[in-house]
Amino acid sequence: MREQIPLTEASRADDAEIDRNNDDSTHEIADDLAYKRLAIVNVVLLGHPGAGDREWVLIDAGLPGFAGAIKSAATERFGKNSRPAAILMTHGHFDHAGSLENLADDWDVPIYAHLLEQPYLDGRSAYPPPDPSVGGGLMAMTSPLFPAGPFDVGRRLRLLPEDHSVPHMNGWRWIHTPGHTPGHVSFWREDDRSLIVGDAFVTTRQESVYAAILQKPEMHGPPMYYTPDWDSARESVRALATLEPELVVSGHGRALKGPEMRRALHTLARDFDEVARPKHGRYSSEPAHADAGGTTYVPPKK
């Protein structure tokens, strides 16, 4: 079994020099697109530098305890006291929604998520349990410290529009990319072929503490530990690969660009069951089920 699809540094969309000097810096990867790594997870800041109050959006909200760091990054990029117009969620896992409630309260903003993701954000349901038998890396180490959820930001929660437009993100469309979670979405801008994928696939090996810290560029399936539907996850990666993106930002790992990234993404799509899907484990052959009310079935523990 091949376990990874490594990439060279040439595929990186961020600035290696900035990163060497200051691991906490925000990486600008397009005029109006930047991301910031907070411990193990990325948040995306979309809007032009100096955009001002309500003229930008935040995509995902990091681990619990990072609201201050996210607000400083926003102040630095968009100006003092500049609040976003909205927070958009790729999915509701604790490493993406951990600081969501604090931020949404401080900023008084709406939160947009897919219908099938809402039960995990409004307190109705919990995600299927993670599968520690497939290796959890940093996630397994950090998750006991945090509540398993569900979160409840229900009163601020809004649905992504059915026409696939994205509120406050002109030129972008949302794409349903289930598998890692039922209502997982990615964001796509045709104009410059930018793709924000959350955890539909990631660009570091989240199961390995070492790889996750080093952030070596690597095309990798969704984090194994937290993915309960591998057939859907594969179809989502295949759908994203057909877009032929120029730039990708994932929830974990560096932003990547160019033909080498595309080749790796197509390899991942083609060989997904071989390289991304665990050979054993609770969900490897049978998925968890969910509906608009949340988790409805979880396969027995192996």
Give residues in contact with Zn ion (CB under 5 A). Answer: 93, 95, 199, 251
Q: Which residue lies nearer to Zn ion by CB, 84 or 137?
A: 137
- CB-based burial label for 115 (10 Å; 0-12, 13-18, 19+): middle
Minimum separation from the CB atom of position 171 to Zn ion (A): 25
Minimum separation from the CB atom of position 195 to Zn ion (A): 16
Residue 160: name the closest of 116, 204, 200 by CA: 116
Q: Which residue lies nearer to Zn ion by CB, 251 or 281?
A: 251
- CB-based burial label for 62 (10 Å; 0-12, 13-18, 19+): buried
Minimum separation from the CB atom of position 96 to Zn ion (A): 5
Minimum separation from the CB atom of position 285 to Zn ion (A): 21
Task: Extract the tokens encoding 193.
Answer: 């072929």
The DSSP line for 90-107 is S---HHHHTTHHHHHHHH
Minimum separation from the CB atom of position 301 to Zn ion (A): 20
Q: Which residue lies nearer to Zn ion by CB, 4 or 227?
A: 227
Q: Which residue lies nearer to Zn ion by CB, 177 or 194?
A: 177
DSSP alpha helix (H) spans, 129-187: 137-142
Q: Say how far apart CA 90 and CA 197 lie, in whole Å.
A: 7
Q: Which residue lies nearer to Zn ion by CB, 82 or 217?
A: 217
